[in-house]
Amino acid sequence: MNQAVSHAAPHAEPTAVAHDIPDTPADLNQAVLIALDWGTSSLRAYAFDAQGRALAVRSLPWGIMKLPRAAAEGGFDAAFEAACGDWLDARPTLPLIACGMVGSAQGWVEAPYIDTPADANRLASSLAEVRTQRGPVLRIVPGVLERGTLPNVMRGEETQILGAMLEAGPGAQDAAPRKTLVGLPGSHAKWAIVEGRSIERFHTFMTGEAFAALRDHTILGRTMRTPDVPDTEAFLRGVSVARGAWDAGLLATIFSTRALGLTGQLDAAQQPDYLSGLLIGHEIAGLEKLLEREGATWASQPVLLIGDAKLVERYRLVLAHFGCTHARTVQNATERGLWQIASQAGLVAQA
């Protein structure tokens, strides 16, 4: 789920792991679950205690497209062993769960999409299974598909979204079914409408990858220079232009990056952040239209954000520009989601 994030400078880093969690559990006897967040470009392994707290987390560069050796030559098993083989040597019967692209058609085993609406119960009852070389079965969380004229898929984000709903605290848990908007900025930003604890609908905005393609492979990049520090003023200028573009859309505004440069109104070092602001601004303007269809307004709409801290901060700026000042940033969404689904599947005793 953690695809390369590529919005403007400086490049965002993957979500940081809290520094106080070791990469090997102090006491493996406390572990009750091993959970893997296994995406395209990275692999992260957690050992959880009976309260769902991470005893250890280990990060490896072995996403499914970057395995230590070819998949046909045991690449998945090799990465898996590096991630948690020593933990399993000590505790061979620990249950195993994974989410992310490891369950895609290019993954270890395909975990077919389940249709929306999707909650932890439905995900937990649709886990795929793959037998590891050492014996134990690894269960893999399926992705989610929303059918329709404009179909959408997610894989990995469903786990984060459900985890975020828990992490958001008792209020979010206790409330009667109520719409929450959960945003996951990134290469393919996801925005999900969650009712109660169920993912009802979602949208994919290809903002990050479109930004990279426009910057690196169109005329817009030719006059750009990456600034030493992000230029927030230029970024917000882009947001403002996108918001004020009379719904003419992205294709009508991005050339202004060049036109403002040609006319001496935007320095080379301002252009990357300006373009980033334009794109994220168009994303949030489009999201506003989708909210209107839901009968919601920013004021009435709880908003949670998950992801890289710097990128989330950029999104908070844009949301505030659109009148949404109450977006909450959620930490540890993946861990919470993996734990919740494992609990629901009976892999660990429910708290």
Give least dist CB 288 to its own copies, A: 9
Among 38, 48, 80, 205, binds its own copies (CB under 8 A): 205
Contact 189, 283 (CB under 8 A): yes
Is position 114 an interface residue for its own copies (rule: CB under 8 A)? no
Among 93, 289, 295, 299, binds its own copies (CB under 8 A): 289
Give least dist CB 219 to its own copies, A: 7
Among 29, 247, 295, 349, binds its own copies (CB under 8 A): 247
Contact 200, 215 (CB under 8 A): no
Is position 145 an interface residue for its own copies (rule: CB under 8 A)? yes
Which residue in 75, 32, 23, 77 sits closest to 53, CA to CA? 32
Is position 112 an interface residue for its own copies (rule: CB under 8 A)? no
Is position 151 an interface residue for its own copies (rule: CB under 8 A)? yes
Give least dist CB 181 to its own copies, A: 14
Is position 109 an interface residue for its own copies (rule: CB under 8 A)? no
Is position 295 an interface residue for its own copies (rule: CB under 8 A)? no
Closest CB to its own copies among 90 and 248?
A: 248
Pairwise CA distance, residues 325 & 11, whole Å: 25
Is position 13 an interface residue for its own copies (rule: CB under 8 A)? no
Is position 210 an interface residue for its own copies (rule: CB under 8 A)? yes
Is position 325 an interface residue for its own copies (rule: CB under 8 A)? no
Taking each helix axis from N to C end, the angle separating 309-321 and 232-243, rounded to the nearest 10 degrees, works out to: 50
Among 279, 304, 338, 341, binds its own copies (CB under 8 A): 279
Amino acid at 49: D
Pairwise CA distance, residues 232 & 316, whole Å: 12
Stretch that binds its own copies, among 12-20, 122-130, 226-234, 284-292 (CB under 8 A): 284-292
Among 252, 297, 309, 325, binds its own copies (CB under 8 A): 252
Task: Write out the residues near its own copies by the rule CB under 8 A.
Answer: 145, 147, 149-153, 188, 203-207, 209-210, 212-214, 216-220, 241, 244-256, 258-260, 262-263, 265, 279, 282-283, 285-287, 289-290, 293
